[in-house]
Amino acid sequence: MPALLPLDESSCRTLLQVNIVGRVGFVHDGTPRIVPVNYAMDGADVVVAVDPASELGRVVSAGDPDAAPVAVFELDHVDHDRHQGWSVTVTGPMVEVRDQQALRRDAPGSTPRPWADGDRSMLVRVVADRVSGRRLGTDWGRPDDVPVRRQL
């Protein structure tokens, strides 16, 4: 049976850079929520585009600027046939990106392209206070192991 092993931070960041879909976990009205999102990276931080009227949008908008709500962003891949896979998490405060033009200008490719229709005009940054990951199996955690590649 394969061992569960930690991924170093560099491997986690590489996997974050090449993927396109993950999940954001947050608390809304005292209840944990998890939503799938398309995302992009801005340095170490995760950026997602959300509907301002969604639960996630309302949580970020209502957040105290001095105590932003905390989120966990997670992405993973599982190979069911070989019983192995990997998972990466980013934990930190969620803040609204106020200057979207500066983000697009200063960090090309850091704006996510949502798959779902509707208003996704609010950009939310999950500030990477903590990045961690783990893998099950011996041939996971390299950029060439991901089934999807980010196209800019």
pLDDT in tens, 11-59: 999 999 989 999 999 999 999 999 999 999 999 999 999 999 999 999 9
Average pLDDT over residues 85-103: 89
Domain that holds residue 100: 4-140
Residue 107 lies in a domain: yes
Number of other residues whose CB lies within 10 A of the CB of residue 67: 8
| DSSP-assigned beta bridge partners for residue 84 | 79
Residue 38 lies in a domain: yes
Letter string b/e over residues 103-140, b meaning 16 or more CB atoms within 10 A of that residue's CB = beeeeeebebeeeeeeebebbbbbbbeebebbbbbeeb
**Which pLDDT belongs to residue 144?**
54
**Which pLDDT belongs to residue 152?**
45
**Which pLDDT belongs to residue 145?**
54
- Kindly state the percentage of the chain with pLDDT values over 90: 53
Q: Kindly tell me if the per-residue pLDDT of 115 is higher than 80.
A: yes
**Which pLDDT belongs to residue 100?**
75
Residue 30: C-alpha distances to residues 26, 59, 144 (Å) = 10, 11, 40
Q: What is the 8-class DSSP label of residue 3?
A: P
Q: Kindly tell me if the per-residue pLDDT of 63 is higher than 50.
A: yes
Average pLDDT over residues 114-122: 90
Give the pTM.
0.86
pLDDT in tens, 126-141: 999 999 999 988 665 4
Residue 68 lies in a domain: yes
Q: Kindly tell me if the per-residue pLDDT of 7 is higher than 50.
A: yes
Q: What is the CATH number of the domain that holds 13?
A: 2.30.110.10
- Number of compact structural domains in the chain: 1
In the structure encoding, which two tokens stand for residue 101, read together?
A: 């033009």
Residue 148 lies in a domain: no
| Phi, psi angles (nearest 5°) of residue 22 | -145, -165
